Structure 1
């Protein structure tokens, strides 16, 4: 989801992170540099770490790092906005982008992103591609590849790309309005066909969004793990976001949590929730092997500023990820 960022706050985050955690939990990485973020999408190429993020000041937000800990703010993709975006934005807004999902596929870069406004189902997921990969920076607009309107059974925001075990590419998306969905996309142009959309998680009480799927082989069985954010984002230190997970042996579900509760029935094992200082963790993404997670949380000691967190993910012998916070 979207938070209006009134200013760019650069924070040096060190031992204060560890102090906000329970003693039994490992501290997030110590990060420096450009740490203001919302809905961080983490990705790693051979020599560079990347964060793609929500922004309201033009284009698709980008950060980069040589080591994953010291972050530099980059130039946004489509920094001036694109003409078709205005059809999905409030009057006067020309470049407001939510929750991008970016990476590389078949040697080229891709970046899915959402255009919408808070509380609206009039939304679109756009796609940008870059020949030669992310670092090439040759981003080309492929237009809106999935849209929604009032009355539809889904909201076309929060896109995330994932490969099934057989190599088929899928797009996870959705927020509130029946929650999270998944659809197969073309191996040629990464766009979805008409139809074929499957609902994989919903929560009528708390709301659910920011779906992100990774696959892992556990004792010879391939599982798909659905990470998601529940609760309310975008309210600074009053945010109630928290991160949950469920899994399935099929990429299209059904997903259940560790207690066996279906994610279509509100299930989800909690991995991170508000601490004393940092509130509303959510907007999570992971490296494709499930080894590292990025997310944002709001700093109650700094006017609720949204801060980047990154942590290693520990996987238990039971095949479930441990709480990260």
Structure 2
């Protein structure tokens, strides 16, 4: 369902965020502070909300908030870049970091992140960990844990971590080149073994990326919901991104949308698409329980600048998330 703008939400820096919404759908949260973002990865610890984000000239971008509404820009992780990143970057770039997937597992803070450039399949997913959790800030780089090159069946970007109902740990990743994939990772070091990569979504017509999986019990059945971005990002007000979802009873698929169309065949139920002012919603992430989603969209009234949106996710009686925007 395509949604239009209903009301403006106030931005810091004298900019207004908002979206026209269906009457039954709650408006996105009112946000303030540092709201410029791309590919926001939302995570909540006991007392702090965190966002980890794409940077084109720095390390892993970090924002934090005490309430999820007023956001402060923090110092990036590895802001000066790491030597090994240069292998996967154009000559004029030293610290181009995309779509981090960060959180905590068994008391360990982790951030998966991608090093790549537009149109290139020469990519790497890196991992950094922090003993004592995110707030401790004791980030130690673990190097590249998954790479791709021209001719591979996937592109090693857009990582996100998920724990299955049986406790097994997985990494979701991939974009465009055969779409989104998933692989097991070690519960000890959070790195994947060799092989074992499964393709779970692709769309040759529109492209698909930014896979993010959450598990949710609906009645007596545990479903895995695959959220993803389709279309073109990063083109300002000309961006055609939109957010879709499918689900499966197995973490490795097959995933289908609400109409039963396989996500390996281009399926995906639309949750958010462009309005008259804010274009190309995508780069989404959710809290692990599926209750809150964060994403970016491009402000056509402000030179196509990417800005942050957050909203509650409402789950219908049919077990499907409803449109967020």
TM over 0.5: yes
Q: Counterpart of 2:154?
A: 154
Provide Cα deviations, 1:215-274, integer angstroms capped at 9, x if missing partner: 000011000000000000000000000000000000000000000000000000000000
Q: Counterpart of 2:7?
A: none
Q: Using the alignment, how far apart are the partners of 2:24 and 2:160 within structure 1?
A: 31
> Is it true that 1:17 corresponds to 2:18 in the alignment?
yes
Q: CA deviation at 1:151?
A: 0.1
Q: CA deviation at 1:318?
A: 0.3
Q: Counterpart of 1:186?
A: 186
CA contact (8 A) 2:41 2:285 kept: yes
CA contact (8 A) 1:11 1:36 kept: no
Provide Cα deviations, 1:97-130, integer angstroms capped at 9, x if missing partner: 0000000001010000000000100000000000
1:50-65 maps to which residues of 2 (within 5 A)?
50-65=50-65
Q: Using the alignment, how far apart are the partners of 2:91 and 2:25 within structure 1?
A: 45
Distance verdict in 2 for CA 1:33–1:299, change over 3 Å? same
Q: CA deviation at 1:24?
A: 3.9
Q: Counterpart of 2:221?
A: 221
Q: CA deviation at 1:12?
A: 5.4
Q: Using the alignment, how far apart are the partners of 2:27 and 2:73 within structure 1?
A: 24
Q: Using the alignment, how far apart are the partners of 1:89 and 1:235 within structure 2?
A: 20
Q: Counterpart of 1:231?
A: 231
SS at match of 1:270: strand
Q: Using the alignment, how far apart are the partners of 1:194 and 1:158 within structure 2?
A: 19
Q: Using the alignment, how far apart are the partners of 1:289 and 1:104 within structure 2?
A: 14
CA contact (8 A) 2:121 2:156 kept: yes
1:22-61 maps to which residues of 2 (within 5 A)?
22-61=22-61
Q: Using the alignment, how far apart are the partners of 1:25 and 1:187 within structure 2?
A: 38
Q: Using the alignment, how far apart are the partners of 2:259 and 2:15 within structure 1?
A: 35
CA contact (8 A) 1:12 1:32 kept: no
Q: Counterpart of 2:4?
A: none
1:72-91 maps to which residues of 2 (within 5 A)?
72-91=72-91
Q: CA deviation at 1:57?
A: 2.0
CA contact (8 A) 1:10 1:36 kept: no
Q: Counterpart of 2:261?
A: 261
Runs of 5+ in structure 2 lacking a partner?
1-10
CA contact (8 A) 2:57 2:93 kept: no
Q: Counterpart of 1:3?
A: none
TM-score by length of 2: 0.95
Q: Counterpart of 1:4?
A: none
TM-score by length of 1: 0.95
1:56-205 maps to which residues of 2 (within 5 A)?
56-205=56-205
Q: Using the alignment, how far apart are the partners of 1:24 and 1:12 within structure 2?
A: 29
Q: CA deviation at 1:56?
A: 1.2
Runs of 5+ in structure 1 lacking a partner?
1-8
Q: Using the alignment, how far apart are the partners of 2:118 and 2:139 within structure 1?
A: 27
Q: Using the alignment, how far apart are the partners of 1:27 and 1:13 within structure 2?
A: 17
Provide Cα deviations, 1:276-301, integer angstroms capped at 9, x if missing partner: 11000000000000000000000011
Q: What RMSD in Å do the two structures reach over aligned CA positions? A: 1.1
Q: Using the alignment, how far apart are the partners of 2:191 and 2:13 within structure 1?
A: 38
Distance verdict in 2 for CA 1:194–1:64, change over 3 Å? same
Q: Counterpart of 1:247?
A: 247
1:274-285 maps to which residues of 2 (within 5 A)?
274-285=274-285
